[in-house]
Structure 1
Amino acid sequence: MNDMSPMSGKCPVMHGGATRSTATSTKDWWPEALNVEILHQHDARSNPMDPDFDYRETVKTLNVDALKADLHALMTDSQDWWPADWGHYGGLMIRMSWHAAGTYRTSDGRGGGSTGNLRFAPLNSWPDNGNLDKARRLLWPIKKKYGNAVSWADLMLLAGTIAYENMGLKTFGFGFGREDIWAPEIDVNWGEEQEWLAPSENRYVNLEDPETLGPNLAAVHMGLIYVNPEGVNGNPDPARTAQHIRVTFARMAMNDEETAALTAGGHTVGKAHGNGDAGGLGREPEGGEIHDQGFGWMNPNADGKAGSHVTSGVEGAWTTEPTKFDMGYFDMLFGHEWELTTSPAGAKQWKPVNIEDVDMPIDPDDGTTRTMPVMTDADMAMKVDPVYREICERFMADEDYFRDTFARAWFKLTHRDMGPKANYIGPDVPDEDLIWQDPIPAGPTGYDVDALKAKIAATDLTPVEMINTAWDSARTYRGSDKRGGANGARIRLAPQRDWEGNEPERLNRVLAALEPIAAETGASIADVIVLAGNVGIEQAAKAGGFNVEVPFAAGRGDATAAMTDAESFDVLEPLADGFRNFAKDGYASKADEMFLDRAQLMGLTAPELVVLLGGMRVLGTNYGGAQHGVFTDREGALSTDFFVNLTDMSNSWHPVGDDLYEIRDRQSGDVKWTATRADLVFGSNSILRAYAEVYAQDDNQEKFAKDFVSAWNKVMMNDRFDLID
């Protein structure tokens, strides 16, 4: 967590401040247009690897011991072009790993280090990521050596873990398996500000209430990972800063104990850099000259000395021995009184009122003289806030407890967005199941699927009831952090069982019919829910004239309440689901935008989004049985009627209320159907309409049925990580 942000008012990268390209784009011309491109990001055409390249298989060939040995050697191999503090790169590597992982937020599961996105804009040029380009260049010879066997995403997070080991921490473990992306992410909302480090007021309804930080945001400024180390809006006030720390870390999945452990453990090693003139620095990597070759923040005044660099503007080390993981942070913070001062670069920071020379850290360059230690406003918050202070006092009383708590928090930080443990690869994966990994036991596979389907079909459940229950169980899946989905059948547990969008009355009725069948046949209820949805689809397809069989793979397990962190599942509740024309009361975002966001999180392509929507509308799966968008006279039968009638020019379309429209006969004026934005966007958006027209064609009815079943199966199988080799 070293060098958390550039100092306010003298940010090294605030040259014009724009965070977006000034080139005119389609979005610039029509800013209100729905951006369907988020469904097409990371297209295979941007991936330089061979089509049959499988990273998860390739990384299993990695010589992990040799890689770790090379990383250990790198830590103390100081390079002239970027000399290491005290001859040790540990602090720099930890900060790189931290900032790669620390963008994760629980609200939508986006951010985090599982894609190697720190290599690309805007993250590679955020003020908070100053000089991390140097850390990646130091890793390049190792990446070059091991090649395809280790991704950048894995390597950047492993480097920080090895740094901690090298400095004396017994880490909790490490899992490989993160696949690199090859272009910047366009689906992540980092904020609306047009300048780095714009005032925090832009992100809050009320800055005095940290809980009013905007939805899907966690950091307090554009371009920061967490909080401003100088205080809220650069104004030191540790008690106030503590409240913002609590909210921003909670939005990144950390409780108070984990937050205190990470703050202390992060600042036990390394230093912040502000021993120079921030105004003399060059542009950030994306804004640099071509001959800079991707390097940013060029410092003409560094004189080849580690201690002369400027990154955050804050200057100094937090402990007496910054290359050793020990209890020095607590000794320094709680062993002294502190007063405000400024760094050579002008950043506000805290220094001890009185300190013996022997307790001061040694200069990172000459190795003999002593320098003044530092605390940021975030560090002082650990001492001032009563909750954080009590936690720190527990740590101080039991070093083993602190080390274990920090090691576990570091592991969580660097693995939170990898999903279940089935996604972890390598010899250092911990055996212990952690509740934040959403553990699911293995499910049975030896039952008779055909007999089970017959029992399901013999119930009095309607196809729509079965389809909706399977859909609601599976739609929680988020590809961003691989959470949610039908595996585990958590739809029958709190809090999901009571979510408004899951129609609890209908859900309880369906579960009451299916649970005895699961018990009788030996299948998991998770499998039975999905299979019942498949049965409903097959019945609806038959009614539409299609003879289809929906694929099914047994083996889902049933999670228990003890395996479920109910509070952490609250963020998975759908506030809107365009596939079922549902929007929770009190949420005013545009239905089509929320629809697209949900589809992207579920991993759907634009054609899959279109075919699923059209099929589900005619099946009558709308929330509460609403008729909006049900453009058919044979509701319940799988057909292309939605697309045929949407594109029929004998109809006209008329707004009649808030997000409500009527489709009328153009000649008579009679109302034929009603619709919402989530329906009509498939006719108004040029890209979505192009796909809709494919399925409206007379010759594509069989294609529609095949594509619908394929897309449905994808949704049901999104979370089957247990089937990964």
Structure 2
Amino acid sequence: MTWSNQDWWPNLLRLDVLDDNAFEAGPYGEDFDYAEEFQKLDYEEVKADIEDVMTSSQDWWPADYGHYGPFFIRMAWHSAGTYRTADGRAGASGGLQRLPPESSWPDNVNLDKARRLLQPVKQRYGRKLSWGDLIVLAGNVALESMGFETYGFAGGREDEFKSNEVVEWGPETEWETTSPERFEDEEVGNLKNPLANTVMGLIYVNPEGPYGEPDVEGSAKNIREEFSRMAMSDRETVALIAGGHTFGKVHGADDPEENVGPEPESAPIEQQGLGWAQEHVEDKAGGLDVITSGIEGPWNATPIQWDMGYIDNLLEHDWTSVKGPGGAWQWEPVGDDIDEAPSPHDSEVSEEPMMLTTDVALKHDDDYREILEEFREDPEAFQQAFAKAWYKLLHRDMGPPERYHGPEVPDETFVWQDPIPEADYEFVGDEEAAQLKDEILASDLSVSQLAKTAWASASTYRDSDKRGGANGARVRLEPQRSWEVNEPEELETALETLEGIQEEFNASRDDDVRVSLADLIVLGGNAAVERAAAEAGYDVEVPFEPGRTDATQDLTDVDSFEALEPEVDAFRNYLGDGDVDDLYDTPEERMVDKAELLNLTVPEMTVLVGGMRALGATYGDAHRGAFTDEPGTLTNDFFENLLDMKYEWEPVDENEEVFEVRDRDTGEVEWEATRLDLIFGSNARLRATADVYAAADGEEKLVEDFVDAWHKVMTLDRFDLE
């Protein structure tokens, strides 16, 4: 075994997660435009090919009821269902289900076979059809094939070719376990951020119940917690579970531990990426059954038909918990008056439906049951609710509607897509932008205020799910305008001044040119950077591309946007209140996590931190971490003084988060610093980067690199520029 630095020093700050932002890991090259390739497809032909696979059983893997539809629904659901709102990571984009760890999760047993069944379709269309899109589209086609009318489909999920190792899945070291550390205060139904799934290696919750026990009350708590972390309401949650469980069956004809081989990433080389090898168990009809979860049976009498069978069975019958043939807890109906389902391989033989603990939990939770009963009384409402919730599930991680492609993209735009109005005016040109910068700099706003306002607006962006960013100027709306990190009172002052400049400019025009507040906020930040560089003796121009418009409060999902609030912001030297309920141990780990979401490299993260300190664009006391006597001037003082052995560092609190910077000779305190400052001198790789900017010839490079990195952050959400 070759040991890595991380093996020798497990507490070493992981920076390699930012390296993926510096290069393209896939084979297509930087010029590859997947959206353009996708639109070359004969879309209906692709759907026909998927339909053909679904209904043409292949001997090497059995198709329940002669139809792979339920199998493909599970595949699509488990691909998209990993998404969580806390950090926007996971989900269907990237086709990550084909890469570890998701490829080998216990909850994904045998989904490797579903993808292999689709291999001929993928090979036929090549680069025009990503696995990310194919997996999801197969789920849609499966629903339609079994009589359900879907709400639509959008392509545009470009494939990843490397595992997303930055995703934090939980503290456990064994599959299908739940550590008390997974929950805040060790309480069921109160997951720590950024987690959404309640069990290591499962997509959602344990279908047997919390900790593998048939506890319906605890199961309902976990369901509500988990689905809320996917931005799903109670109504959407019930619709998804009831709609998904209308189809297919679960497989537990025997004990998985005794009859199923290792997962794909542990399987022998001759299995060629397939895992979970098993001797198929002969079912009651003499056909071949398979083993996945260890729970056995269908939910209703019509497993490949859209109907009300699941809801009717759940509400109209009493259910009791039993151990099934696979050794797992499941629920059987009390009495024998329930319609039986055909055997998966012989319609002449029948079997009794079952329920999961998570199903029965819906019936026993008052709010969930009310929704179930509404759906039973109004099947059309159920159909519409499932269609919209399924569409949201599959597309939640794709970002704004302009990233959606294909002939089945709905005309309707949803608030969860963070819509931004189209402009009904012409955008400012270079001449108007220069005029506006002069007016901004002539106002009472300082370099620090302008830079902080622009950063507060743009740095909400997350590359994981393409949410946030400066477009829309949502920094002036709830919840962002009230976030503590944005210093609401100071933000209000800056916004009022910029709104006044905007109103005066727009009122003065006798043409169709107008400036949005979203553009003006960015322009103000750019002007601040240019002035700070000029104060240091450098003549720079920060690129500016107009085109942003202003969102409204009714187009902003307040609850969903709360997840974007930073608990720590290293760039503004904001440590928060210390009461952080997540799985990251240190502020510097959260710094790297935020940098990864901003798609930054190690040098970009480094220069932005140093440059923001020079601008005085830090939370509260602008002198914390500034290390300069010239705040508002874009110098390399931060790095030069950080690495200067003239100073020593002494913690001022037990948490070692805040430090005093003392002159070694006099003992006098020169400045105050945080861990978010000192890590750039402590960590070897960050120190090596800081050393470049601290050098006598490093200041000019700092200015150049800061302008580039700043511009990158300001335009991360400008998909129209791609």
TM-score scaled by structure 2? 0.94
Q: In structure 2, how many angstroms separate the alpha carbons of the residues matched to 1:383 and 1:438? A: 33
Q: Alpha-carbon deviation of 1:674?
A: 2.5
Q: Alpha-carbon deviation of 1:313?
A: 0.6
1:125-524 mapped onto 2 (5 Å cutoff): 125-206=104-185, 208-211=187-190, 213-278=191-256, 279-302=258-281, 308-356=289-337, 359-443=339-423, 444-447=425-428, 448-519=432-503, 520-521=505-506, 522-524=514-516
What's the secondary structure of 1:351's corresponding residue? strand
Give the total of aligned pairs: 701
Q: In structure 2, how many angstroms separate the alpha carbons of the residues matched to 1:78 and 1:354? A: 35
Q: Alpha-carbon deviation of 1:694?
A: 1.6
| Paired residues of 2:220 and 2:365 also in contact (CA < 8 A) | yes
Q: Alpha-carbon deviation of 1:28?
A: 2.2
User: In the TM superposition, what whole-angstrom CA distance separates every residue of 1:312-333 from its partner, at most 9, and x where no partner exists?
Assistant: 0111111111011111111221
| Paired residues of 1:276 and 1:308 also in contact (CA < 8 A) | no
Structure-2 residue corresponding to 1:656: 652
Q: Alpha-carbon deviation of 1:597?
A: 1.3
| Paired residues of 1:442 and 1:555 also in contact (CA < 8 A) | no
| Paired residues of 1:527 and 1:556 also in contact (CA < 8 A) | yes
Gaps of 5+ in 1: 1-21
| Paired residues of 2:93 and 2:397 also in contact (CA < 8 A) | yes
Change (3 A) 1:504 1:52: same
Q: Alpha-carbon deviation of 1:303?
A: 6.1
AA of the residue aligned to 1:272: V
AA of the residue aligned to 2:248: G
AA of the residue aligned to 1:550: V
What's the secondary structure of 1:628's corresponding residue? coil
| Paired residues of 1:42 and 1:182 also in contact (CA < 8 A) | no
Structure-1 residue corresponding to 2:511: none
Q: Alpha-carbon deviation of 1:77?
A: 1.3
Q: In structure 1, how many angstroms separate the alpha carbons of the residues matched to 2:202 and 2:358? A: 14
Q: Alpha-carbon deviation of 1:345?
A: 1.1
Structure-2 residue corresponding to 1:592: 588
What's the secondary structure of 1:583's corresponding residue? coil
**Residue 94 (structure 2) pairs with residue 98 (structure 1):** no
Q: In structure 2, how many angstroms separate the alpha carbons of the residues matched to 1:570 and 1:205? A: 18
Structure-1 residue corresponding to 2:564: 572
Q: In structure 1, how many angstroms separate the alpha carbons of the residues matched to 2:174 and 2:592? A: 27
Q: In structure 2, how many angstroms separate the alpha carbons of the residues matched to 1:175 and 1:514? A: 38
Q: Alpha-carbon deviation of 1:43?
A: 5.3
The partner residue of 1:539 within 528, 531, 534 is 531
AA of the residue aligned to 2:559: E
Q: Alpha-carbon deviation of 1:306?
A: 6.6
Q: In structure 2, how many angstroms separate the alpha carbons of the residues matched to 1:455 and 1:59? A: 45
Q: Alpha-carbon deviation of 1:289?
A: 0.8
Q: In structure 1, how many angstroms separate the alpha carbons of the residues matched to 2:24 and 2:474? A: 37
Q: In structure 1, how many angstroms separate the alpha carbons of the residues matched to 2:520 and 2:198? A: 45
Q: In structure 2, how many angstroms separate the alpha carbons of the residues matched to 1:512 and 1:45? A: 42
AA of the residue aligned to 1:545: G
What's the secondary structure of 1:582's corresponding residue? coil
Q: In structure 1, how many angstroms separate the alpha carbons of the residues matched to 2:635 and 2:166? A: 32
User: In the TM superposition, what whole-angstrom CA distance separates every residue of 1:619-673 from its partner, at most 9, and x where no partner exists?
Assistant: 1111113422212222211111212222223333333333222333344444333
What's the secondary structure of 2:594's corresponding residue? helix
Change (3 A) 1:200 1:668: closer
Structure-2 residue corresponding to 1:687: 685
The partner residue of 1:631 within 627, 631, 634 is 627
| Paired residues of 2:109 and 2:293 also in contact (CA < 8 A) | yes
AA of the residue aligned to 1:310: I
Larger deviation, residues 73-82 vs 297-306: 297-306
AA of the residue aligned to 2:648: S
Q: In structure 1, how many angstroms separate the alpha carbons of the residues matched to 2:179 and 2:675? A: 33
What's the secondary structure of 1:625's corresponding residue? coil
Structure-2 residue corresponding to 1:59: 38
User: In the TM superposition, what whole-angstrom CA distance separates every residue of 1:507-557 from its partner, at most 9, and x where no partner exists?
Assistant: 111111111222233211111111111111111110011101111111111
Q: In structure 1, how many angstroms separate the alpha carbons of the residues matched to 2:719 and 2:24? A: 25
| Paired residues of 2:131 and 2:159 also in contact (CA < 8 A) | yes
What's the secondary structure of 2:199's corresponding residue? coil
What's the secondary structure of 1:634's corresponding residue? coil
Larger deviation, residues 222-231 vs 657-666: 657-666
AA of the residue aligned to 2:539: N
User: In the TM superposition, what whole-angstrom CA distance separates every residue of 1:328-356 from its partner, at most 9, and x where no partner exists?
Assistant: 11122122222222221111111112234
Q: In structure 1, how many angstroms separate the alpha carbons of the residues matched to 2:287 and 2:231? A: 34
| Paired residues of 2:281 and 2:290 also in contact (CA < 8 A) | yes
What's the secondary structure of 1:451's corresponding residue? helix
Q: In structure 2, how many angstroms separate the alpha carbons of the residues matched to 1:491 and 1:284? A: 46
Q: Alpha-carbon deviation of 1:286?
A: 0.7
Change (3 A) 1:209 1:274: closer
| Paired residues of 1:258 and 1:405 also in contact (CA < 8 A) | yes
Q: Alpha-carbon deviation of 1:46?
A: 2.6
AA of the residue aligned to 1:535: A
What's the secondary structure of 1:654's corresponding residue? strand
Change (3 A) 1:460 1:494: same
Q: In structure 2, how many angstroms separate the alpha carbons of the residues matched to 1:203 and 1:659? A: 25
Q: CA RMSD in A?
A: 1.7
What's the secondary structure of 1:635's corresponding residue? coil
**Residue 639 (structure 2) pairs with residue 643 (structure 1):** yes
| Paired residues of 2:21 and 2:599 also in contact (CA < 8 A) | no
What's the secondary structure of 1:715's corresponding residue? helix
| Paired residues of 1:274 and 1:313 also in contact (CA < 8 A) | yes
Change (3 A) 1:248 1:687: same
Q: In structure 2, how many angstroms separate the alpha carbons of the residues matched to 1:692 and 1:196? A: 40
| Paired residues of 2:62 and 2:289 also in contact (CA < 8 A) | no
